[in-house]
Amino acid sequence: MLSFDLDFARGDFTLAARAEVDAGVTGVFGPSGSGKSTLLALIAGLLRPGRGVIRADGDVLVDTASNRFVPPWDRHFGLVFQDGQLFPHLTVRRNLLYGHDRIAPQMRRHDLQSVAELLEIVPLLDRRPALLSGGERQRVALGRALLYSPRLLLLDEPLSSLDERLKQQILPFLRRIKEETRVPMLYVTHSRNEIDYLADAVITMDRGRLGVAP
Ligand SMILES: Nc1ncnc2c1ncn2[C@@H]1O[C@H](COP(=O)(O)OP(=O)(O)OP(=O)(O)O)[C@@H](O)[C@H]1O
Q: Is residue 44 part of a domain?
A: yes
Tens digit of pLDDT for each residue in 135-144?
899 999 999 9
**Residues 101-105: what's their mean pLDDT?**
90
Helix, strand or coil, per DSSP, at residue 96: helix
**Residue 81 counted as domain residue:** yes
Residue 143, in any domain of the structure: no
96 within a domain of the structure (yes/no): no
- In whole numbers, what is the pLDDT of the chain averaged over residues? 93
Q: Regarding predicted confidence, which is higher, 46 or 85?
A: 46
pLDDT score of 161: 83
| Phi-psi map region of 186: left, alpha, beta (phi>0 left; psi -120 to 50 alpha) | beta
In a domain, 23, yes or no: yes
Task: State which ligand 1 atom lies nearest to the alpha carbon of 39.
Answer: 18
Does residue 179 form part of some domain?
Answer: yes
Domain extent, residue 41, equals: 2-87+152-212
Number of folded domains in the chain? Answer: 1
In angstroms, what is the span from residue 20 Cα to ligand 1's centroid? 22
Specify the 3-state DSSP secondary structure of 105. helix
By most ligand atoms within 8 Å of CB, the mutation choice from 6, 8, 10 for ligand 1 is 10
- If residue 64 lies in a helix (H) or strand (E), which one and from where to where? none
Q: Is 202 a residue whose pLDDT tops 90?
A: yes
Span from the CA of 203 to the centroid of ligand 1 (angstroms): 17
Burial 73-92 (b: 16+ CB within 10 A, else e): eebbbbbbbbebebeeeebb
How far away, in angstroms, is 169 Cα from ligand 1 center?
Answer: 28
With bands split at pLDDT 50, 70 and 90, how would you rate the model's confidence at 98? very high
- pLDDT of residue 212 exceeding 80, the answer is no
Is 205 part of any domain?
A: yes
Residue 43's CATH number: 3.40.50.300
Between the CA of 206 and the centroid of ligand 1 the distance, in Å, is 12
Give the confidence band of 213 by pLDDT, cuts at 50, 70, 90: low
Per-residue model confidence (pLDDT) at position 81: 87
Residue 121 lies in a domain: no
**85 vs 27, higher pLDDT:** 27
Note the pLDDT of residue 167: 86
Rg (CA), the chain: 17
pLDDT over threshold 60, residue 68: yes
The residue-averaged pLDDT of 171-191 equals: 91
Across the range 17-46, mean pLDDT stands at 94
Please state the rounded mean pLDDT for residues 88-95. 96
Q: 121-172, pLDDT tens digit by residue?
A: 999 999 999 999 988 999 999 999 999 999 999 999 999 888 888 888 889 9
